[in-house]
Chains A and B, each alone.
Chain A
Amino acid sequence: MSREKLSRRAFLKLAAASGSGVALAGLGPLSSIASAQDSVELTFGRHWEAAFRPRQAEYDEGFMERHPNISINITYNTWADHNNVVPAWAAAGTLPDIIYVHGSRVVPWAHEGIIIDIHDIVTPDEEFDVDNMWEESLRLYRINGRLHALPYDHGPLILGYNVDMFDAAGMDYPNEEWTMDDLREAAIALSKPDEFQWGWSGELDLGNGGSDFFLGAWGGRKMSDDETEMILDSPESREALNFWYSLIHEENAGPSATEAEGFGDNPWQNGRCGMAVVPTWETPSLRAFASFNWDVAPTPMGADGTRRTGAFGSGYGITPTSGQPDVAWTYLREYLSNEGMIFMWSLSGRGSPARPEALEVWFTSDPAPPSAHYYRDAMFDYAVTGRPYETIAGAQVSDVLSREAELLRLGETTVDGAIAAIMEEGQAALDSVAEDM
């Protein structure tokens, strides 16, 4: 990663290069909002891991150069803790100005008054192009049609494969014509459990985004579109889960949970698996840690040609205790602009920026796989934002889903047992908040 902070000059260069720079050249009326004020401090609650913080620092140095009256103070949480630390801050009345918001937390956090409605801040700003963000990503942040946060990243989950393993087996790589049956055949052919090699990674993600990879090919879904009903007990969903279950527990084409533990719970990244679900946001760590050649392919279709996968992402919101939402917006409008995303997520190789133009730039970065354009195709053609994200019972429903997925992976429940538990407990969670929605 080059040591290149986004100075005013660099920012303008990026803006001009991306074709939208003219309007940003003067940094518009909002730059004057900030400059008209005395020195102010913007506080943040973020979760970047240590390796990515220098990039953030570079961006912030550039921002403070462009806005000398604004200083930045960041509190970094771990990814595992952020979603619990923020509510604790809220309860204590110590929220920072701007917080990272996982897409699944927007509705519950808005409901609890942790983030504010920013619709009337964002939409009058003609220089900020909301329409240029993925529509699927904006779904997460709109509540009754009003924006409560804005996305910084959003990406789909498609098929990743170990090129070296396919080459060694003399097999053709996954392609656009692949169906789930092809995936199954290849997974079985590549598996040599005695040598700790499996064709499929074995993971079962029933959470946001992940579940649609399998369910979608059969036309199955977890929840109704208004998120008031669990509908996982359809024949389509059952067939999809049975497909996964037999792949792992009958065909031994994927490592069991205990076998996966032997490889740091990530046998795919350790080169032990031929294929896996690979979201855009995992590509930098694959590039950094995988010691094999890999690439991506479209999510395989179902038998009837149906192709669907999940997509998900995260964003930023402004808190009610900020007291300076205009200053917070001065930051976010640049940070989440096309240029900001290109600097933070495209050129850095981080991946999955929430704007199509920035994604195109990411294709040229080192961590992007050779066929990275399949991510764009998925976003344009068949990726849907994974539920739950519209109910305030999302955390409860997700807990039930992940618990049953874990038990299925361990072989400690059956597909029918898992579906029954999810239907009963998931529906009870949805019903319990029906009055509050």
Chain B
Amino acid sequence: MLRRLIRPISPSARREERIFYLFILPWLIGLVVFNAGPILGILGLSFTDWRISFQGLNFVGLENYRTLFADETFWVSVGNTLYITVGRVVLGTIFALFLAILLNQKVPGIPFFRAVYYLPSVTAGVAVALVWIWIFNPQVGILNHSLRLLGIKGPTWIHSTVWVKPSLIIMSIFTVGPNMIILLAGLQGIPKELYEAAEIDGAGAWEKFANVTLPMLSPVLFFVIIISVAASFQNFTEIRVMTQGGPGESSNVLVWYLWENAFVYFQMGVASAVAWIIFLLLMGLTGIQFRLGRRWVFYEV
């Protein structure tokens, strides 16, 4: 019975399997040494009172986690992270999809526009952040200047506790290049026959988008959302360069909170605990997305 269930493997298939493992070996070694190893190492350190030196390292159990949960700033940073993540992922994905659809049109000059929209993504993060500091400048920034031309008094953007998070979200929208490219590839992979069939059935532009494009693109959208959430949680450069977690604590996100604990307060054990909480939060959110994905992600068989 068992013999009938296990398919016999031919020598050539075995050789192919060995070559497969050989090719992924460098990546596997990298994953274990540079990712899994440190992740587990940090888990261990999160149960210690590690500061800078490893000398005098003591096991403190869950003390670091208790410290975090009792710290108001930690919860502020969790809230800020979720706020910015939701904004970035929702608006960023919509904008990336909008751009991908635009750039999927057969009009002259499309390669130029694709390059233009991708450009911010290949520019150094610090340079982009510095440019945005000036764009958000309340007095002489181009954003408020444009609003003034429309008779609107612009807010103080990154200098306001209310507007700093929306500012960071707005800024992130202009770095959707990679997601745009992924979605563009997804759009180009949708068979034209499906649109032709829909047209024969009398579908208009919206019906074609809602009933053909979105379902066919859903696996790609799902992937884009997963990686966007992870990227948003890990975003550090903009906070470091533009706001340093302020004004007040209004842009203090988890990675900034982690960094301050590690390299300003030297509470490496606490910082390790924060790193693990970020990891668990991301795993949890990804799990939720996979569960929700079953309802809306359509895989072509």
Contacts and interface: CB of A to CB of B under 8 A. Distances in A.
B140 interface: yes
Contact of B264 (A90, A91, A114, A395): A395
Q: Which of A83, A258, A263, A395 has the most CB of B within 10 A?
A: A258
A91 to B, nearest CB: 5
B266 A412 contact: no
10 contacts: A112-B51, A112-B266, A114-B52, A257-B156, A257-B159, A258-B139, A399-B264, A407-B161, A410-B160, A412-B161
Interface string A103-123: 000001000111000000000
Given A257-B159, A258-B159, A407-B247, A87 B266 contact: yes
B63 interface: no
Contacts of A261: 137-139, 159
B248 interface: yes
A86 to B, nearest CB: 9
Contacts of B160: 410, 412
B139 A259 contact: yes
A19 interface: no
A306 interface: no
B248 A258 contact: no
Nearest to B162: A412
Interface in B246-267: 246-249, 259-260, 262-266
Nearest to B240: A80
Interface string B207-231: 0000000000000000000000000
Nearest to B161: A412
A88 interface: yes
B55 interface: yes
A150 B138 CA distance: 43
A406 B263 contact: no
A399 to B, nearest CB: 7
A87 B55 CA distance: 15
Q: Which of B53, B156, B264, B265 has the most CB of A within 10 A?
A: B265
Nearest to B246: A406
Interface string B38-77: 0000000000000111010000000000000000000000
B268 interface: yes
The 3 closest A-B pairs by CB, nearest first: A262-B139, A258-B138, A112-B52
Interface string B231-246: 0000000000000001
B247 A410 contact: yes
Contacts of B248: 403, 406-407, 412-413
Interface of A: 83-84, 87-88, 90-91, 108, 112-114, 257-259, 261-263, 395-396, 399, 403, 406-407, 410, 412-413
A87 B159 CA distance: 29
Contacts of B260: 399
Nearest to B73: A425
A87 B138 contact: no
A84 B236 CA distance: 15
Contacts of A413: 248
A257 B262 CA distance: 30
Contacts of B262: 87
Given A84-B263, A407-B247, A412-B161, A91 B139 contact: no
B41 to A, nearest CB: 13
Q: Which of B138, B140, B160, B259 has the most CB of A within 10 A?
A: B138
A395 B52 CA distance: 15
Contacts of B139: 258-259, 261-263
A258 B263 contact: no
A234 B249 CA distance: 26
A282 B248 CA distance: 26
B125 to A, nearest CB: 15
A113 B57 CA distance: 14
B247 A406 contact: yes
B140 A112 contact: no
Contacts of B263: 84, 87-88
A90 B159 contact: no
Contacts of B51: 112
Nearest to A392: B266
Given A113-B52, A410-B156, 20 more contacts: A87-B262, A90-B52, A90-B53, A91-B52, A91-B268, A108-B266, A112-B51, A112-B53, A257-B156, A258-B138, A259-B139, A262-B139, A262-B140, A395-B265, A399-B260, A403-B247, A403-B248, A403-B249, A407-B248, A410-B161
B153 to A, nearest CB: 11
A113 B247 contact: no
A283 to B, nearest CB: 26
A214 B28 CA distance: 60
A258 B53 contact: no
B246 to A, nearest CB: 6
B187 to A, nearest CB: 41
Nearest to A196: B139
B259 to A, nearest CB: 8
A114 B138 CA distance: 41
B78 to A, nearest CB: 18
Given A258-B159, A410-B160, A87 B52 contact: yes
Nearest to A80: B240
B271 to A, nearest CB: 11
B138 A396 contact: no
Contact of A113 (B53, B156, B161, B268): B53
Given A406-B247, A412-B248, A396 B265 contact: yes
A262 B134 CA distance: 9
A436 B301 CA distance: 64
Nearest to A395: B264
Nearest to A113: B53
A113 B159 CA distance: 37
Contact of B55 (A113, A263, A406, A410): A113
B272 to A, nearest CB: 12
Contact of A84 (B140, B156, B249, B264): B264
Contacts of A90: 52-53
A395 B159 CA distance: 22
A412 B247 contact: yes
Nearest to B263: A84
A262 B139 CA distance: 5
Nearest to B55: A113
A282 B264 CA distance: 25
A263 B137 CA distance: 10
Contacts of A112: 51-53, 266
A294 B33 CA distance: 59
A258 B52 contact: no
A206 to B, nearest CB: 14
Contacts of A262: 137-140
Contacts of B266: 87, 108, 112
